[in-house]
Structure 1
Amino acid sequence: MITRIWHGRTAPKHAASYLQFLLHEGTREYLQTPGNLSVKVWQKMDPDCCHFWTVTEWTNIEAIKKFAGEDYNKAKYYPEDEGILLEFEEGVEHCESFVVRE
């Protein structure tokens, strides 16, 4: 299993609306892509900005490529991100993931 982690930041005044975007339209494409196993949104409010992470789990790199394209290490953005995100980070993180069960 592969975990894909994207990070973005907004001004505090945009945090609530951007969270709603991520919980609905902003993660819809993840959920519709074959090979996606899960989608989580993390949020952390700091005094000067709000951090967001989308943390998605995939069956393999080929599944991620169906979502992100051949250059799957590159972040994917949407028109709604324009004017809301404080910057557009170029890359995302991919980690091999393991489930521990007793």
Structure 2
Amino acid sequence: MTGDALEVTGEVWYWRGPAPYHFVTVPMPQAEEIREIAAEVTYGWGMIPVSGRLGATEFTTSLWPKDGGYVVPLKDAVRRAEQIDLDDTVTVHLTIAPRDR
């Protein structure tokens, strides 16, 4: 799956913990596909490096493990560029980056 495109559609939600962030949850069927290769691509703590595109905005980030699945953090700069707000439904195009060996 590394190098393959993955399309994630979901609602933007906010976590205001010690490091506040906006996220989109990866649907479980796609999370299961990611989990199959996680050991090959994680750089620790279950984080999966990805490059992404939301609308016309390209970015890099890492999928975060959460509740047996994964979430996509949406940086403020990406949300501002695409005029994305809390509770909006968005489609994020992701490519899982292979881990450097």
TM range (shorter): 0.3 to 0.5
* More strand per residue: 2
Larger Rg computed on CA atoms: 1
TM-score, normalisation: structure 1? 0.37
TM-score, normalisation: structure 2? 0.37
